Amino acid sequence: MPIFAAGYPQRRVKGDNGDHPRTPRLMNDSTLKIDRRFRGPPFSGNGGYACGILGMRLGAVATVRLHAPPPLDSALTLHPDASALRLCDAERTIATARLATLDLHAPPAPSLEAAEAASAHYAGFASHPFPGCFVCGPDRAPGDGLRIFPAPASGMDCVAAPWTPAANLADGDGRVRDEFVWSALDCTGFFAFGPLPDGAPALLGEMTARLDVTVRAGAPHIATGWMIGSEGRKRFVGSAVYTADGTPCAVARATWIVVPPGTAGAS
């Protein structure tokens, strides 16, 4: 069964030489696996990556809601309809995705130098609940993890980190694949409010992302995250990826849920 039904939009993204079409990758069947490389916690997929592998199939803007921790190395089934996708592990729904709009604009970025200075103070260097996280884990080697280490940027209401995507994240033309841009947007948003003072974990609940400009492998970029608000155990954050000169490439709004220690998917 094909992943795309007739009528799914083709996304257009601004590249180095103007707009060029970006068609989400089709699969030969309706199953996929999340490789252990793309983990967040030790036994489940990174939330942003899991959202990205669905969001990239829907077009320029999508909302993905996680209903359960994405399992690793398991055959997961995609169930498409005219405007949405559902990812299942047997009968259990792992995530749902739908076309969306996102009325959120990236604020001015800190300079690359300011992002580098901020990242030196990354809290995860001293203590990290998931040091093997694909995106922000300090135990991941260059070229294996994204190694995005956000920390408060001096004089700005955001966290920031530099990010130079590795070549193995890109297609043959050097464009970083969409699921890895979603990944970068994920953990950067978490550090807008985390780590929490009492060490309580938080899980990504829902993410809406808009990818506007191509992210290029081998080129320095800036990743930022900022608080939007909170309600009970929910934390609402924004995040963005920029080119080194501050041009926004992608922006996201996410809802995180603070959960008790020991909650499934938080360990």
Give the global pTM.
0.88
pLDDT value, residue 263: 62
Report all structural domains of the chain as residue ranges with CATH numbers, in order of start: 11-99 (3.10.129.10), 112-258 (3.10.129.10)
Distance CA 46, CA 59 (A): 21
Condensed to tens digits (0 to 9), the pLDDT of residues 84-133 reads 899 999 999 999 999 999 999 999 999 999 999 999 999 999 988 899 99
Measured CA distances, 81 to 32, 87, 92, 104, 186 (Å): 17, 12, 18, 27, 26
pLDDT value, residue 266: 54
Distance CA 32, CA 28 (A): 10
Measured CA distances, 238 to 53, 90, 250 (Å): 20, 33, 11
Condensed to tens digits (0 to 9), the pLDDT of residues 8-27 reads 333 434 444 333 333 333 34
pLDDT value, residue 147: 98
Distance CA 169, CA 175 (A): 8
CA angle 140, 152, 220 (to 5 degrees): 55
pLDDT value, residue 165: 98
Residues of the chain with pLDDT under 50: 1-29, 264, 267
pLDDT value, residue 262: 63
Contacts 24+ apart (CB under 8 A), 151-157: 151/118, 151/119, 151/120, 151/121, 151/122, 151/123, 151/191, 152/118, 152/121, 153/110, 153/114, 153/115, 153/118, 153/224, 154/114, 154/117, 154/118, 156/110, 156/114, 157/226, 157/227
Distance CA 158, CA 92 (A): 37
Judge contact between 115 and 128, C-beta under 8 A: no
pLDDT value, residue 194: 86
